[in-house]
A and B are shown apart, each in its own frame.
Chain A
Amino acid sequence: MEKEKAMELKQILKTRLNRPMRYYIDTCTRCGLCYDTCHAFQGIPKKEYSPVGRAEVVRKLYKKYTRPGGFIFPYGTDATKFSDTVMDQLYEAAWSCTGCRRCAVNCPFGIDTGQMMGVAKHLLIANGTAPEELVMLADAAVEKGKSIDQFKEGYRNVIRDLEKEVQRKLSLPASDGLIPMEKKDATILYVGLAGAHSIVNPAIIFNAAKENWTLSFFEAVNFGFFAGDPAKANFIAQRIIKEATALNVKEVVVVECGTAFRILRALMGKLPFKVTSIVELIHRYLKEGRIKLKEGAVSDAVTYHDPCQLGRNGGVYDEPREVIRKIVTDYREMSPTREQNWCCGGGGGLVALDNEEFRIKTGKPKKEQIVATGAKIVVTACENCVSQLKTIQSGYGLDVEVKYLTELVCENIIV
């Protein structure tokens, strides 16, 4: 590795040395309690896929460049310099981690390996060895944010077609205004994804609840965050924040995308509006009697997969279960569940990469959980999870159907 490149990487390493990172570097005792808490390790049992194995790659760099001990006596802590080998190790560590934070829950010190992998991803971008797919998707999202006016008309045309689908489902005489856009002072700004399902199903629910809402021009997904580029991640999130502020909405409702929800709810600091997941909103509508569901309409065995960013990292556990229990007669809980639920293996941007074989292997604990429930339908509330669960389903030949929670709700909504 060239000296200039190593200097550049060293600089990034130092700029990422914030307060949590200082705790995570110095506190780990390598007790090993996290060792097998990662789904990737369960699927492919090697040290490099254990949380401590991953974190140590970053930690050893910090020891080398920011700790006197690492400079004076590097052998003591295995402090390591930047090299091509280390960058390969960083790649393997960062791009096998979904940022599910199951390890953080099981660490006696609460060390968040996901945060440390954020540093690893940032270093890989600077080194030019980050996954190209994600970097390009992040760039496209940034470009859209910079020149949104060019996209607006084309997007409106797409939405007009989707409004007709909503009209059909709700048996309404006209489709105009069923998916409002740029509506100032709306109560809710809904942020969807590129897929039609992420707009049509929520639009059905909003209209059924007679909500005063408007659709965002942007997708909720944050490829900058997935890629590990903090500047792009912030820009992509700020697009939505600026839009919500300009429209003066009271609440931003995020599509079934765990990471997008967590970024806006937990990682952007204090915002002038409330951030809610569509799952929480559906639950609220049910409680308030604003929508009605066909109770007990589904007799097949159903289980729910907690998306990590919604459950473990967002605290949304009970709402989806209560909604599902209204519709289904045979609900089965996975084991382990809630904060100890296994990650599906598709988060953190992994599902967007060409790594299907790896994801099938690392999806093994999830496969075993699903099989153990005996469920015929797996419901979840995250785009990445749905994609990954479908990969697991086809990879292991499981006789199950994977559904979005909004899909299940729309199939059973009384209009």
Chain B
Amino acid sequence: MWSKIFYFAMVPMVYAAFAVLIGGLLFKLGVVFFSKKFPGSLATYPKRLPRPVGVAAEAFAVPAAWKKDKVFWVFIIAYHAAFVLLFIGHLELIREFKVLQIIPHDVFLGAGSVGIILIISVLYFLFRRFKSPWREISVPEDFLILILLFLTMLIGSHLHLSARYYAGGGAFDIPVGAYREYLSNLVAFKPVVPSGIADSPHYVLVVLHVFLANLVLMMFPFTKMVHMAFAFLSLNLRRK
């Protein structure tokens, strides 16, 4: 029975998660674009930069946080930059991209630091909410998402570090080739869980990592994580 549950998390649920993620995002954006526009302008002044540059600067450099709370800003930037590297790293787990090897590296970029930065940042975001006034303005969703991200990243980081640094003399290693076989077949809609993963003592952790990641992906369009897409639209309004 466990093998069926594991397979469900590793294959059908992954497809379901991406379907919900893509469908959900398209639905949310569709609803937004078909909803009533604001007839006037919601701009604030001064507008120091041209609109697209200003929106990009505010979205990527987060000056609002820099002005107010520099420690928070450092973690915001570290988390989001690491998240981009995490995305690239997972792309490289599907297949090799020559363009990404401009800087020659083993998968993942950052030699394990990306996961650690993400974990520390998520813990900072989480513990920050234990303190007033953030405790008063937090809702359960805020904690739930951070806990989910923490667990997903902790397991993912453990899998990566144990493989990269041969923890247990290599007994826990799942080679990059096995992940590539699994993920490239998923992408090609010929799903298979290769023996390199299924026979590893780490299989249960891989399943847990994929299961939690599936939950994150499914929650993405329907929780505050959607700020990844809406932040640009919302900031654009302030400069229109």
Min CB distance A139 to B, Å, is 24
Q: Which residues of B contact A53 (CB under 8 A)?
A: 136-137
Q: Which residues of A contact B140 (CB under 8 A)?
A: 75-78
Given the complex of chains A and B, what is the CA–CA distance between A338 and B45 in angstroms? Answer: 9
Across the interface, do B35 and A108 meet the contact criterion of CB distance under 8 Å?
A: no
Q: Which residues of B contact A28 (CB under 8 A)?
A: 224, 227
Given the complex of chains A and B, what is the CA–CA distance between A28 and B238 in angstroms? Answer: 15
Residue of A nearest to B228 (CB): A27
Interface residues of A (CB under 8 A from B): 17-20, 22-24, 26-33, 35, 47, 50, 52-53, 56, 67-69, 75-78, 101, 104-112, 115, 266-269, 311-315, 317, 338-339
Across the interface, do B224 and A313 meet the contact criterion of CB distance under 8 Å?
A: no
The yes or no answer to B50 lying at the interface (CB within 8 A) is no
> Given A67, A106, A312, A313, which contacts B68 in the complex, CB threshold below 8 Å?
A106
Across the interface, do A339 and B44 meet the contact criterion of CB distance under 8 Å?
A: yes
Q: Which residues of B contact A29 (CB under 8 A)?
A: 142, 224, 227
Residue of A nearest to B40 (CB): A267
Across the interface, do B235 and A109 meet the contact criterion of CB distance under 8 Å?
A: yes
Given contacts A22-B32, A108-B58, contact A77 B139 (CB under 8 A): yes
Q: Which residues of B contact A47 (CB under 8 A)?
A: 133, 136-137
Across the interface, do A20 and B42 meet the contact criterion of CB distance under 8 Å?
A: yes
Across the interface, do A76 and B141 meet the contact criterion of CB distance under 8 Å?
A: yes
Across the interface, do A30 and B133 meet the contact criterion of CB distance under 8 Å?
A: no
Across the interface, do A317 and B46 meet the contact criterion of CB distance under 8 Å?
A: yes
Q: Which residues of B contact A27 (CB under 8 A)?
A: 224, 226-227, 230-231, 234
Residue of B nearest to A24 (CB): B234
Min CB distance A381 to B, Å, is 15
Across the interface, do B133 and A313 meet the contact criterion of CB distance under 8 Å?
A: no
Across the interface, do B68 and A104 meet the contact criterion of CB distance under 8 Å?
A: no
Min CB distance A168 to B, Å, is 39
Interface flags for B151-170 (1: CB within 8 Å of A; 0: not) read 00000000000000000000
> Given B31, B40, B224, B233, which contacts A30 in the complex, CB threshold below 8 Å?
B224
Given the complex of chains A and B, what is the CA–CA distance between A308 and B235 in angstroms? Answer: 19
Interface flags for B60-103 (1: CB within 8 Å of A; 0: not) read 00101101110010000000000000000000000000000000
Across the interface, do B39 and A106 meet the contact criterion of CB distance under 8 Å?
A: no
Given the complex of chains A and B, what is the CA–CA distance between A312 and B43 in angstroms? Answer: 9
> Given B45, B223, B224, which contacts A315 in the complex, CB threshold below 8 Å?
B45
> Given B43, B139, B231, which contacts A266 in the complex, CB threshold below 8 Å?
B43
Min CB distance B209 to A, Å, is 23
Q: Which residues of A contact B223 (CB under 8 A)?
A: 69
Given the complex of chains A and B, what is the CA–CA distance between A313 and B40 in angstroms? Answer: 12
Across the interface, do B46 and A315 meet the contact criterion of CB distance under 8 Å?
A: yes
Q: How many A-B residue pairs have CB under 8 A?
A: 140
Across the interface, do A35 and B234 meet the contact criterion of CB distance under 8 Å?
A: no
Given the complex of chains A and B, what is the CA–CA distance between A104 and B41 in angstroms? Answer: 14
Given the complex of chains A and B, what is the CA–CA distance between A47 and B46 in angstroms? Answer: 29
Across the interface, do A317 and B28 meet the contact criterion of CB distance under 8 Å?
A: no
> Given B41, B137, B227, which contacts A52 in the complex, CB threshold below 8 Å?
B137
Across the interface, do B39 and A23 meet the contact criterion of CB distance under 8 Å?
A: no
Given the complex of chains A and B, what is the CA–CA distance between A11 and B133 in angstroms? Answer: 33
Given contacts A35-B137, A50-B137, A76-B140, contact A67 B222 (CB under 8 A): yes
Across the interface, do B35 and A18 meet the contact criterion of CB distance under 8 Å?
A: yes
Across the interface, do B35 and A19 meet the contact criterion of CB distance under 8 Å?
A: yes
Given the complex of chains A and B, what is the CA–CA distance between A161 and B1 in angstroms? Answer: 94
Can you identify 9 A-B contacts, CB atoms within 8 angstroms? A23-B230, A27-B231, A28-B224, A30-B142, A32-B137, A112-B238, A268-B39, A269-B39, A338-B46
The yes or no answer to B18 lying at the interface (CB within 8 A) is no
Q: Which residues of B contact A30 (CB under 8 A)?
A: 134, 137-139, 142, 224
Min CB distance B59 to A, Å, is 8
With most chain A CB atoms within 10 A of its CB, the pick from B33, B58, B134, B141 is B141
With most chain B CB atoms within 10 A of its CB, the pick from A76, A77, A110, A315 is A110
> Given B41, B43, B72, B226, which contacts A26 in the complex, CB threshold below 8 Å?
B226
Considering only residues 206-240 of chain B, those with a C-beta below 8 Å from chain A are: 222-224, 226-227, 230-231, 233-235, 237-238
Across the interface, do A19 and B139 meet the contact criterion of CB distance under 8 Å?
A: no
Across the interface, do A104 and B36 meet the contact criterion of CB distance under 8 Å?
A: no
Min CB distance A132 to B, Å, is 28
Given contacts A32-B134, A50-B137, contact A22 B31 (CB under 8 A): yes
Given the complex of chains A and B, what is the CA–CA distance between A52 and B67 in angstroms? Answer: 18
Given the complex of chains A and B, what is the CA–CA distance between A12 and B126 in angstroms? Answer: 36
Given contacts A20-B237, A23-B230, contact A107 B45 (CB under 8 A): no
Given the complex of chains A and B, what is the CA–CA distance between A20 and B28 in angstroms? Answer: 13
Q: Which residues of A contact B32 (CB under 8 A)?
A: 19, 22-23
Across the interface, do B139 and A105 meet the contact criterion of CB distance under 8 Å?
A: no
Residue of B nearest to A69 (CB): B222
Name 18 extra pairs, CB < 8 A, besides A33-B68, A50-B137.
A19-B32, A23-B230, A23-B233, A27-B227, A30-B137, A33-B64, A68-B222, A77-B140, A104-B238, A106-B64, A106-B68, A108-B58, A109-B231, A112-B237, A267-B39, A267-B41, A268-B39, A269-B39
Given the complex of chains A and B, what is the CA–CA distance between A26 and B231 in angstroms? Answer: 10
Given the complex of chains A and B, what is the CA–CA distance between A111 and B144 in angstroms? Answer: 23
Given contacts A19-B35, A27-B230, A32-B137, contact A104 B44 (CB under 8 A): yes
Across the interface, do B133 and A78 meet the contact criterion of CB distance under 8 Å?
A: no
> Given B37, B69, B226, B234, which contacts A33 in the complex, CB threshold below 8 Å?
B69
Given the complex of chains A and B, what is the CA–CA distance between A378 and B128 in angstroms? Answer: 41
Q: Which residues of A contact B137 (CB under 8 A)?
A: 30, 32, 35, 47, 50, 52-53, 56
Given the complex of chains A and B, what is the CA–CA distance between A104 and B35 in angstroms? Answer: 22
